[in-house]
A and B are shown apart, each in its own frame.
Chain A
Amino acid sequence: MRRHNVQKTKRSGTVLATSTLPWRFFILTVLCACIMAAGFFFAARQHFLTMDLGLKNSKMRKQVEDLESERRRLILAKEVSISPSEIMRAAQTMGFRERTEMPLPSVVSAVQEVKQQKEAETVKIVQTSLRQPDRAVTAHVESGDAKKVVKPIIQQTAVRQKVLVKTAAKQNDVNERPRVVSNTDKGKAQVSSKTNAKLR
């Protein structure tokens, strides 16, 4: 092996130890290979980063859509629960009754009656709506002051007498869909009978 690395010069006959391997070429090759490898590495890294970002982006986009969908669903649920008809139903469940019309003639006859009783200094007329025993309409009119504003006062008997009114707790309808309080509750929620009915 050594012989391959020894070369004699013709003139002086001295022997020079020279390498036959092209080190420069090797180094250059290795350098290029390193650069290429680094390039590939960075390109791959960029590629996978992009893929990762794309995946995250896609997930977030889906989340936005889901949240928007959920927002709309909650708006809907809120609207359903506070719709006038629902409130009326809830009020009825709690024991409230629909307002009974106070007929105009009753107020008017009260005024007439007051006018007829001019002698009396103070007249207090109380007329109760006979149809609704828990409501009363009171008109206060003082004689000699006929121009005083008549304001029909509608009161609930129970309130006036400070009687405690027991209200029944609202029971969810069997067909009512369970409403989601938070997203964490979603998993816990069970398929309601409405769902089942729909699926059928």
Chain B
Amino acid sequence: MRTKRRTKKHDSRQTAFLRYMLIVAVLIVWIGGISARLVYLQVNQHDFLKDKASGQRIDVKQTKMLRGSIFDRNERALAVSVMSKTLFADATQIEDVEKTAMVLANVLHTNKAKLAEQLNEAKDLEKRFVPIAKGLDDLEAQQINSELETDGVRKSDQPKYPGLHWREEQKRTYPHNSLAAHVIGFSNNDGVGQAGIEQSQNEALYGAVIKKTQERDRLGRIYDETISEKEPAKDIVLTISNSIQFKTEQALEKAVKASSANAGMAIVLDHTNGEILALANYPTFDPNRLDMINANNLSNRAIQGMYAPGSVFKLITYSSAFENNLLTPDSNIEAGNGVIDVAGHVFRDAHASGSVNVTKAFADSSNICAIKTSMRVGREGFYSAMQKYGFGKATGVELPAETSGILRHPSKWYGDSLASMSIGYEIGVSALQMASAFATIANNGVRVKPHIIKEIRQSDQTKVFESKPESERAVSQQTADRMKTLMRAVVTNGTGKAAQLNGYTSAGKTGTAWKFDEKLKRVSSAKYMSSFIGFAPLDSPRFTIAIVMDEPRVGGRNGGQVAAPVFKEIAESVLAEMRVPFDLTADAQPVDSSEEIEESVGNGDEEQVGQTNPSIEKSDVGKATSPKTADSTDVAKKPQKPVVADRPKIPTVLRKENERTLPNSKDKFKT
């Protein structure tokens, strides 16, 4: 019995053991199989599976940060980038093209047949990006999403319709349209500045491309996101004032249209700190409409264009004489019969003035007096004065392609060069350079470098750049005061009476220069550059305004007729806006405004036919920084013959009789 029991006991234990071992063996095999499979997957198939898993889970997106904004001095936005959305179709994901086309056509109010054709074509070509609607904002996108929402569509992104997606883009917008278009410029579709501040400050404004690594769950929701760190774009605050710019542009446009001029330029400059309050050109463009931009309206003539300034340049002539104590405002100059011959080049006045004082000579814009004055100053003195006023080099304003103008060294001058330059020929200047020169006088002889950027700051308002006015004394306070007196006389008794303001005193100088004719290859008395540059009020000037009209054809040609009224309109508006108190007394009002004083125009006459001036060669022109717009040929090619035919010839005998030489003059001339 015992043996049997033992045997049974032994058997059951063995059976249990065997069963146990069997289970263990199965488990080992099972775990071994799994382990082997795991090893195979994680070692052999590692890369493939990792990529596959990443592809399902991780989404890498490259987006561009919003481009920086541009503001005016009063924090009014001039250029802003906003996000816009594009609805596109992934043709490979669309199963029923006809149905999709029908739904889209209903929502977007488009042609169903065209849409279906477009989608079918894309499906055949397996296109994954078929733009359906572009440039939509959030509001419009939401509306479309709600209309396209379909039940039962499992999709992580909007719209809930198979095969349709949104893509975010940024759109550059200029809310004031053409306002300050030449200052702001524009950027292309890639967000790269093409003109104006957009171009010159592209590096600061540029929105960097950032990489977003998004991890999504099975529903497509983002649960982890890694964004590559990049410095955000900066905002730029300009010195221009929105309202002053608007008034300036309005006045300029009106004047250009009224005079049928080719173009017009206007600059309002705060001479105390060099801030440009307004810089306008006409014709202009709307940066929102790139298709309307052409070479004619794109040119920022005020800084890129170069021209012979004409009589406004007499400011330099007389101030250099004052600076060297050669003259006083009451000194008399003999203008004779209004004709002078310098090194064989005959210059004329509009009329014979006889002996006049400097104030009268400046007010009447006498060429003869200016030439004689420059002779007293001499070549080096005059050249030095021009350099002090900043001619011959760019002002350094933060706008692209600024011209430096043309100013030749005295060693390259010819016999009559000094005379020509003294009346604003044989020199190339930009409107901004001239405005800066007048601003120097308004600022009591201290020249402040003009600038248009007030500050550059980060998106958190931290300033990274703040402009500081750079100034240097160009002429003495006494010279500046004397010039102010002379310029006041121009407005009260001279050629610039139309610049007299209501309730305010003003001062300035007119300029009317012959323009170089491309066809004739010489200056033409039928084409003018008319200008007026001045400031107001007289005692404590608040700003300097430069107006230049290119080829006015209707209603007068002189700066006093064409440009001075524009100065008046702008100055009165700006003074009122600045709340400057009236300073004009009744006795100060000019009472002889009915008398029109003709301005002396031109730099030569028929006797100069055939002469050429090798001093301004193409190589000189090439030195101008402006590539296209600098009309370097405007720089008076002084000896060329003007087209005028009715100018009286002065007998040579008469000139010889009047021949005399002034003391201090380095160049002999005849009168």
B221 — which chain A residues lie within 8 A by C-beta?
55, 58
B62 interface residue (CB < 8 Å to A): no
Q: Which residues of the other chain, B, contact A123 by a CB distance below 8 angstroms?
A: none
Scan A89-127; emit 1 where CB is below 8 A from any B CB, else 0: 000000000000110110110011000000000000000
Knowing A54-B222, A141-B586, A151-B503, the reply to whether A187 touches B175 (Cβ < 8 A) is: no
Which listed residue (B138, B585, B590) contacts A147, Cβ 8 A?
A: B585
B139 touches A189 (CB 8 A): yes
Besides A51-B223, A79-B80, 13 other A-B contacts (C-beta < 8 A): A55-B217, A58-B214, A66-B138, A68-B66, A75-B80, A76-B175, A84-B242, A111-B591, A147-B586, A152-B502, A180-B139, A191-B144, A198-B140
B590 CB contacts on chain A under 8 angstroms: 108
Q: Is A186 an interface residue (CB 8 A)?
A: yes
B: interface residue count bin: 35 or more
Question: Which residue of chain A is the closest to B225 with respect to CB atoms?
Answer: A58
Q: For residues 571 through 596 of chain B, which have their beta carbon under 8 Å from a beta carbon of chain A?
A: 582, 584-587, 589-591, 593-594
Chain A's nearest CB lies how many Å from the CB of B138? 7
Contact between chains at B135 and A198 (CB < 8 Å): yes
**Beta-carbon contact of A102 and B502 below 8 Å:** yes
Chain B residues whose CB sits within 8 angstroms of the CB of A198 once the complex forms: 133-136, 140
Q: Say yes or no: is A182 at the interface (Cβ < 8 Å to chain B).
A: no
Contact at A149–B176, with CB atoms within 8 Å?
no
Note all chain A residues with C-beta closer than 8 A to B41.
Answer: none
Q: Cα distance A141–B585 when bound, in Å?
A: 11
Q: Does B18 contact A (CB under 8 A)?
A: no
B138, A104: Cβ atoms closer than 8 Å: no
A102 to chain B, nearest CB (A): 6
User: A79-B76, A141-B586, A189-B139 given as contacts; is B81 within 8 A of A58 (CB)?
Assistant: no
A58:B176 contact, CB within 8 angstroms: no
Tell which of B143, B214, B242 has the most Cβ of chain A within 10 Å: B143
- CB-defined contacts of A54 to chain B, threshold 8 Å: 215, 222-225
Q: How far is the CB of B458 from chain A (nearest CB, A)?
A: 15
Q: How far is the CB of A56 from chain B (nearest CB, A)?
A: 9
Docked complex: A53-85 residues within 8 A CB-CB of B: 54-55, 57-58, 61, 65-66, 68-70, 72-73, 75-76, 79-80, 83-85
- Closest-by-CB residue of B relative to A152 is B502
| A149 CA / B498 CA spacing, docked (Å) | 20
Give residues of chain B (581-638) contacting chain A, Cβ–Cβ below 8 Å. Answer: 582, 584-587, 589-591, 593-594
Contact A76 to B586, CB < 8 A, known contacts A54-B222, A190-B143, A191-B140: no
B647 on the interface (CB 8 Å rule)?
Answer: no
B56 at the interface (CB under 8 A from A): no
A164 within 8 A of B: no
Contact with A along B529-567 (1 / 0, CB 8 A): 000000000000000000000000000000000000000
By a CB distance below 8 angstroms, the chain B residues around A11 are: none
Which residues of the partner chain B approach A189 to less than 8 Å between Cβ atoms? 139, 143
CA–CA, A66 to B139, complex, Å? 11
A-B interface contact total, Cβ < 8 Å: 136
> Please, which residues of chain A bring their CB within 8 A of the CB of B569?
101
Does A171 reach chain B (CB closer than 8 Å)?
no
A199 at the interface (CB under 8 A from B): yes
Contact B82 A150 (CB under 8 A): no
Contact of A76 among B80, B135, B142, B593 (CB under 8 A): B80
Cβ contacts under 8 Å, B222 to chain A:
54-55, 58
Per the bound structure, the CA–CA distance linking A94 and B502 in Å amounts to: 28
Q: Which residues of A are found within 8 Å of B83, using beta-carbon distances?
A: 65, 69, 72
B76 cross-chain contacts in A, Cβ below 8 A: 79
Contact B243 A70 (CB under 8 A): no
Residue of B nearest to A106 (CB): B502
CA distance A10 to B590 in the complex (A): 145
Q: Does A196 contact B (CB under 8 A)?
A: yes
Q: Which residues of B contact A150 (CB under 8 A)?
A: 503, 584-586, 589
Tell me how far the C-beta of B619 lies from the nearest C-beta in chain A, rounded to whole angstroms.
Answer: 45
Residue of B nearest to A198 (CB): B135
Interface string of A157-170 (1 = CB under 8 A from B): 00000000000000
Q: Is the CB of B589 within 8 A of A79?
A: no
Contact of B582 with A151 in the complex, beta carbons under 8 Å = yes
A198–B108 Cα gap in the complex (Å)? 9
Given contacts A108-B589, A199-B109, A200-B109, is CB(A73)–CB(B223) below 8 Å? no
CA distance A147 to B585 in the complex (A): 6
